[in-house]
């Protein structure tokens, strides 16, 4: 049945506004990169690389590992203290390598193109999702929060965050429309893109339980089992690949030791040191990781009763996983903002709190925009890896 004309118009105008907000945030990123070219000397530390293409400023740090995976596949020496690309999941490089071959463009260009297209698609889907669950004003504020969040820089860089956000939002859009098969497929794709992608299986199974009348019947167990396996199929596939090729199904876990040993501090001590670090413009990107984690946790608790249980389960599971795998490990809060970027229910929470508080919306947008500008400038010149 065709949609009413006014609903078609609403979708078109809403989509245009969401894309305009996201586009404006990308201008901030480009301004930060342009500023860095004239005012921030490139970091001359060893190990940094470059290409001649103009989008090279969005190809930094982890981007090199993704490009190597797309070009040469995986390798693993068996030495867990040597940084290796096996720790990076295959979903994103498979995606941009496939698009690159289809369009006959270079891998670096394809990586940046796919990231930005995925981010734009995620913005549109998120707008539709939030507008359906709340209203258009909350939806637009949510898009602004996601787009201007300092770590949203990685939605345009050759990193996996944009693809992960797209499949996360798509999975929830399917869940709230009752399309559990498509939701499980989206979750399965996500589990092959990011290490914590398998957590989507938790709200998915809850939604199936709710759809089955909240009863633990044979029918529910069958549907939940099939959906759960599908939702972690990307992760299971990567485990099988590592087992067959390297005779170590958890090679991607063992190889992370090379990154865990960066601080040389006992587990949990790095987090305490980062929380107590003095405010310093040179330390701003890493300092914000710790405090944004606490702010997001506070937002999640403040809006818990205003959120559907599926979103609450996803948020709670992700926070618990981050506490166990990062905060209470040697890394502490390092790179936390990139993980927080994917907890979009907290962005919705920001919108719910800021709604009808114009001063708060403007202040948050100004602070986020300034931080995004500086994060982009530092990333472009190899001073900050996210």
CA distances in angstroms from 175 to 150, 189, 211, 303, 351, listed in the order given:
29, 15, 10, 20, 22
- What proportion of the chain, given as a percentage, has pLDDT over 70? 90
Provide the pLDDT confidence category of residue 371 given band limits of 50, 70 and 90.
very high
Report which of 120, 122, 95 is spatially closest to residue 26, judged by C-alpha positions: 120
What is the tens place of the pLDDT at every residue in 151-165?
A: 999 999 999 999 999
Which of 1-10, 215-224, 238-247 has the weakest average pLDDT?
1-10
Arithmetic mean of pLDDT, 3-24:
81
Residues in Cβ contact with 143 at an 8 Å cutoff, skipping those fewer than 6 apart: 17, 18, 21, 22, 123, 126, 127
Report the mean per-residue pLDDT for the chain. Answer: 89
Q: Give phi and psi for 311, each to the nearest 5.
A: -70, -40
Arithmetic mean of pLDDT, 10-24:
91
Whole-angstrom distance, CA of residue 109 vs CA of residue 19:
21
pLDDT of residue 271: 54
In this predicted structure, the answer to whether residue 89 has a pLDDT above a threshold of 60 is: yes
Whole-angstrom distance, CA of residue 239 vs CA of residue 244:
9
Provide the pLDDT confidence category of residue 54 given band limits of 50, 70 and 90.
confident
Residue of 230 and 42 predicted with greater confidence: 230
Whole-angstrom distance, CA of residue 312 vs CA of residue 303:
9
| Longest CA span, the chain | 65
- What proportion of the chain, given as a percentage, has pLDDT over 90? 71
What is the tens place of the pLDDT at every residue in 276-312?
A: 554 444 545 667 888 899 999 999 999 999 999 999 9
Provide the pLDDT confidence category of residue 10 given band limits of 50, 70 and 90.
confident
Q: What angle do CA 286, 162, 367 make, to 5 degrees?
A: 45
Residue of 269 and 116 predicted with greater confidence: 116
Which of 75-79, 123-127, 177-181 has the weakest average pLDDT?
75-79
Whole-angstrom distance, CA of residue 137 vs CA of residue 297:
23
Whole-angstrom distance, CA of residue 21 vs CA of residue 351:
14
What is the tens place of the pLDDT at every residue in 112-121?
A: 999 999 999 9
């Amino acid at each position: 049945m065709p949609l009413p004309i006014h609903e078609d118009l609403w979708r078109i105008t809403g989509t245009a506004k969401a894309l305009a907000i996201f586009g404006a945030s990308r201008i901030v990123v480009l301004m930060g990169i342009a500023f860095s070219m004239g005012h921030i000397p490139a970091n001359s530390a060893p190990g940094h690389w470059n290409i001649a293409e103009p989008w090279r400023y969005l190809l930094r740090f982890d981007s090199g590992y993704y490009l190597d995976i797309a070009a040469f596949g995986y390798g693993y020496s068996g030495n867990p203290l040597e940084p290796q690309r096996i720790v990076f999941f295959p979903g994103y490089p498979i995606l941009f390598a496939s698009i690159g071959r289809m369009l006959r463009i270079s891998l670096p260009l394809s990586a940046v193109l796919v990231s930005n297209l995925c981010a734009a698609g995620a913005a549109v889907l998120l707008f539709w999702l939030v507008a359906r669950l709340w209203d258009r004003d909350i939806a637009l504020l949510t898009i602004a929060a996601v787009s201007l969040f300092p770590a949203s820089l990685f939605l345009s860089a050759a990193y996996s965050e944009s693809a992960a956000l797209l499949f996360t939002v798509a999975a929830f859009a399917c869940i709230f429309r009752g399309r559990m098969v498509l939701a499980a497929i989206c979750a399965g794709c996500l589990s092959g893109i990011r290490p914590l992608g398998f957590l989507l299986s938790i709200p998915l199974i809850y939604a199936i339980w709710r759809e089955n009348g909240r009863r633990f019947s044979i029918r529910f167990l069958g549907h939940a089992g099939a959906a759960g396996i599908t939702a972690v199929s990307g992760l299971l596939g990567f485990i099988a690949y590592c087992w067959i090729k390297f005779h170590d199904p958890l090679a991607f876990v063992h190889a992370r030791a090379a990154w865990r040993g960066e601080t040389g501090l006992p587990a949990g001590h790095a987090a305490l040191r980062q929380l107590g670090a003095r405010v310093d413009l040179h330390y701003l990107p890493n300092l914000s990781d710790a405090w944004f984690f606490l702010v997001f946790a506070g937002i999640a608790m403040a809006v818990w009763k205003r959120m559907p249980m599926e979103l609450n389960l996803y948020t709670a599971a992700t926070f618990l996983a981050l506490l166990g795998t990062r905060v209470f490990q040697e890394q502490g809060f390092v790179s936390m903002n990139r993980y927080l970027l994917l907890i979009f229910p907290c962005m919705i929470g920001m919108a719910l709190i800021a709604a009808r508080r114009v001063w708060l919306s403007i202040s948050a947008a100004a602070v986020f925009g300034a931080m995004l500008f500086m994060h982009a400038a530092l990333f472009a010149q190899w001073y900050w890896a996210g």
